[in-house]
Amino acid sequence: MKPGVSRRALLTGTAAAAGLGLAGCGSVTGGLSDRTRVKQWNLLAGADGAIMTEMHGNFSDEHPDVELEATTFGWGTPFYTRLVMGASSGNAADIATIHLSRLKSVSPDTLLDAITIDELTEVGIDAADFPEKIWDKCFHDDRLYALPLDTHALVNYYNKDVCQQIGALNADGTLIDTTGREAYFDLLRAAKEVTGQFGTSLDTFGGWRQFWAWYRQADGEMTFGDDDFEMDDDKALQAIETMYLMAEEGLCPTFSDGAQCAANFENGAAAFVQVGNWEINRFKLFGGDNPEWFSMTEMPDFFGNRRTQGDCHSFVLPHHNSWDPEVRKATVEYAAYMLKHSYRWGEGGGHTPSYLPVTDSPEYQALQPNAEYSGVVQNVQFDPDAWFSGSAARLFDETGSIFNQVYALTMKPEAALELMKDRIHTLLALPNPVD
């Protein structure tokens, strides 16, 4: 029996760990040494990946009895394919870092092992240590399958010098608030006068993030059934029109992949950039002796609030045919260590830690520029619930190729909306490959 615990049992503390006394066929205790080997898989190859590597080194220094073997795979499909294949054979890593939005798409009841209350209590972790809406997403069929490390989301970076020139800073040096799409466009127009190129940069290949942020700001919902889905066409069209209008006026690039998106901000071609908070370390390093040349805040209010597209990196336990009890114990200790030391994850990686004892601490609340966008935890909007949805999933890719044409001004918003709906219907007709 795989270890598991119901939501009620988790909250009341009545569950007991099960199945931990069997001999392990994954990582092994001992071997050529008396250290317990823990295999970890992740998909963090960017600037935040360097911070995780640093944290892994710290964990190893403080746990000399544990041999942590961490492996980074290609972001997106390569990682999830490897995870599914390994877990289906019962011989994957002991712990893996996935996007919380992908939890259901990796068939947790068959490919993951649940986590018990006793294990969490033993390492000093409690349900009250996490934001409720994020904690609830860690469950499937009333069993806990994930431990959230952070909240990461689409945010708004700004060049302090340019914003000072256009009068866009408050007295304390933070970016002024704007309300409504046109008010923010005015800000971009003023910035474009200074940069001579764009007001803002963004990833025109990752348009799903902007779409979902603006669609959710307008209270747009997207729900999926067995063979159909519901979406508010008017609100969806409004979000797509925002892309087209921004590009048509030259306020953003018509073509900008992930690398060029960040480069436009670094080289001064754009005074703003809408990209994930994971780029913070890159921009600090670019500044050299002036790492505070920029700051960042939440997504601007276009349609009544500051909701934004986002996700959580989370730890899961890939299914094992059997667990070595020492390996299992060391694995949960590793997860707890990463949560309790996630101040460094927020400081260097830019992600907002999900572990409240860290984010509520005076040390983190004084951290800049992180504190300026800390409200993103309340405003983050997870992708709609479907096997083909979530970070690096088919919905992101299929819609991204459409929105890229909108930014390029080669497809009008009305045509993009219809094509988007066709693509979603095609995805609905496909069987979940994990099933």
Q: What are the tens digits of pLDDT across the range 316-327?
A: 999 999 999 999
In terms of Cβ atoms closer than 10 Å to its own Cβ (0-12, 13-18, 19+), residue 63 is middle
Structure tokens at 358: 């860290």
In this prediction, residues 91-116 reach a mean pLDDT of: 94
Q: Does the pLDDT value for residue 16 go beyond 70?
A: no
- Note the pLDDT of residue 32: 53
DSSP state of 205: T
Q: Does the pLDDT value for residue 29 go beyond 80?
A: no
Q: Does the pLDDT value for residue 432 go beyond 90?
A: no
- Around 217, how many Cα atoms within 13 Å sit in the side-chain half-sphere? 24
At 22, is the pLDDT very low, low, confident or very high (cuts 50, 70, 90)?
Answer: very low
Contacts of 206 (CB under 8 A, 6+ apart): 258, 396, 400
- Note the pLDDT of residue 376: 87
Share of the chain above pLDDT 70, in %: 92
- Per residue in 117-141, pLDDT (tens digit) is 899 999 999 999 999 999 999 999 9
The verdict on whether omega for the bond into residue 369 sits within 30 degrees of 0, i.e. cis, is yes
Q: Does the pLDDT value for residue 66 go beyond 80?
A: yes
At 18, is the pLDDT very low, low, confident or very high (cuts 50, 70, 90)?
Answer: very low
- Note the pLDDT of residue 392: 87
At 185, is the pLDDT very low, low, confident or very high (cuts 50, 70, 90)?
Answer: very high
Lowest-pLDDT choice from 45-49, 310-314, 331-335: 45-49
State residue 210 phi and psi, 5-degree precision.
-65, -40
Contact 415, 99 (CB under 8 A): no
- Note the pLDDT of residue 30: 47
In this prediction, residues 356-371 reach a mean pLDDT of: 92
What fold does the segment set 7-148+313-353 form as a domain? D-Maltodextrin-Binding Protein; domain 2 (3.40.190)
Q: Which CATH superfamily is domain 153-310+374-428 in?
A: Periplasmic binding protein-like II (3.40.190.10)
Model confidence pTM above 0.75 = yes
In this prediction, residues 392-400 reach a mean pLDDT of: 94
- Note the pLDDT of residue 33: 67
Residue intervals of the chain classified under CATH 3.40.190.10 are: 7-148+313-353, 153-310+374-428
> How many CB atoms are located within 10 Å of the residue 435 CB?
7
